[in-house]
Copies of this chain bind each other. A is one copy, B any other.
Amino acid sequence: MSERVVVLAHEKFPDRSKTANGILRYGDREVVAVLDRDRAGERVRDHLPDVQDAPIVESFGDVDGPVDEFVVGIAPIGGGFDESWRPDVRAAIEAGCDVTAGLHYFLNEDEEFATLAAERGVTLTDVRKPHEGLTVSGARSGEVSADVVLTVGTDCSVGKMTATMELADAAEAAGIDACVIPTGQTGIMVEGWGNPVDRVVSDFTAGAVEEMILEKGDEHDLLIVEGQASIVHPAYSAVTCGILHGAMPDRLVLCHEAGREVVHGYEGFDLPPLAEYVDLYESLAAPVEEAEVVGGALNTSGVENDADAEAAVAEFGEAIDAPAADLVRFGAADLVEAIR
């Protein structure tokens, strides 16, 4: 993995740049600049005080010093490539940078970029394109020596990726050799590897997770698998179910956002009661591998004051009958005890 990275987030930093923010917050590489033409001259810390700092510049030409990798850190709805990014991507390739993106539009299928990359000997990585070798699961994830924890959710966008990263960091801080198993675009970009499970052939969903578990499961003591969507999501539950059975986890952490009552983007569908999620995930997991919901991660970012947030966390813990926390607001140390 390269060490010095530049992250493109034109016109979207920091409120609509989930991937860029993830790399700044959880990545272990040095971000030498963020590109956002709307905020050139500002710094990352002006907006996100608790992540690594970097200058914000207008274009790739304004970046100081050598760069190993150029990352497209935003994804418009639909996952297309915005032509206004082309000069920066071109300049990065010409400077000898590898380029990584998580778009539905594949850089490797862009004639200009592919030709230029071949000339310069740099690698274009489309993290949303599954590799060719994926296949059906052999149901062997249960055989690895590591304990396997899976973050599961009550819905999309409740904080499963964040919970995964916070738990891994807190586990490491507690002296546990932990490894994240990334299953989505941002997780893959942060970790620098992984399978985009929502883009694989549906028959290979569990297999794409198993492949990663088998690769890392005997090298670490704890694997924390990034979950996706929810088991009762009208559109995406297939991905959730495949990850649950493919990972064969020992323990589950249920992730929820305070106040969420209906399915995000599918507002005609109520979320079932929280206790029902616990039953559903456990009873669905059991025939393949017994797994218990041992903790809950509540995202209280929409709750203004700490006292209300603490009350929400307490209520959530009671509803799911397990220790709960907001891992970002109050820290993840307590939950690490529950999952170890």
Could you say which residues of chain B place their CB within 8 Å of the CB of A232? 245, 284, 287-288
Binding site for B on A (CB under 8 A): 136-139, 197-207, 231-242, 244-246, 248, 266, 268-272, 276, 279-280, 283-284, 286-288
| Distance of A280 Cα from B207 Cα, bound (Å) | 22
Count of this chain's copies in the oligomeric assembly: 2
Are B201 and A201 in contact, with the CB atoms below 8 A?
Answer: yes
A241 to chain B, nearest CB (A): 4
Closest B residue by C-beta to A130: B201
Q: In the complex, what distance in Å separates the CA atom of A98 from the CA atom of B203?
A: 28
Shortest Cβ distance from residue A160 to the other chain B in the assembled complex, whole angstroms: 15
Residues of chain B within 8 A of A138, CB atoms compared: 235
Q: Which of B136, B234, B266 contacts A236 (CB 8 A)?
A: B136
Q: Would A242 and B234 be within 8 Å (CB), given that A199-B201, A269-B287, A287-B272 are in contact?
A: no
7 residue pairs, one from A and one from B, having the closest CB atoms: A238-B242, A139-B234, A241-B241, A205-B238, A232-B287, A137-B235, A198-B203
Separation of A245 and B207 alpha carbons in the complex (Å)? 21
**Chain B residues near A245 (CB, 8 Å)?**
232-235, 237-238
Interface centre among A201, A276, A286 (most CB of B within 10 A): A201
Q: Which residue of B239, B266, B280 contacts A284 across the interface (Cβ within 8 Å)?
A: B280
Do residues B201 and A200 form an inter-chain contact, with CB atoms below 8 A?
Answer: yes
Q: How far is the CA of A201 from the CA of B129 in the complex (A)?
A: 11
Residues of B within 8 A of A137 (CB): 234-235
A237-B245, A238-B239, A284-B284 known, 10 other contacts, Cβ within 8 Å: A136-B235, A139-B234, A198-B202, A199-B203, A200-B201, A201-B202, A206-B238, A237-B242, A241-B241, A241-B242
Known: A139-B268, A202-B200, A266-B139. A207 touches B235 (CB 8 A): yes
Q: How far is the CB of A105 from chain B (nearest CB, A)?
A: 15
Q: List 14 A-B contacts (CB under 8 A).
A: A136-B235, A198-B201, A202-B202, A203-B239, A206-B235, A206-B238, A234-B288, A237-B242, A237-B244, A238-B245, A241-B241, A269-B288, A272-B287, A280-B284
Q: Which of B139, B204, B283 contacts A279 (CB 8 A)?
A: B283
A35 to chain B, nearest CB (A): 29
In whole angstroms, how far apart are the Cα atoms of A137 and B266 in the complex?
A: 10
| Nearest-neighbor residue (CB-CB) of A233 within chain B | B245
In the complex, how many angstroms separate the beta carbon of A106 from the nearest chain B beta carbon? 14
Q: For the complex, what is the distance from the CA of A272 to the CA of B279, rounded to whole Å? A: 16
A206: B residues at CB distance < 8 A:
234-238
B residues less than 8 Å from A288 (CB atoms): 232, 234, 237, 269
Nearest CB to that of A207 among chain B residues? Answer: B235
A203 partner, pick from B236, B244, B276, B287, beta carbons under 8 A: B236
Chain B residue contacts of A198, Cβ below 8 A? 201-203
In the assembled complex, which residues on chain B have CB atoms less than 8 Å from the CB atom of A242?
202, 237-238, 241
Kindly list chain B residues whose C-beta atoms are within 8 Å of the C-beta of A201: 198-202
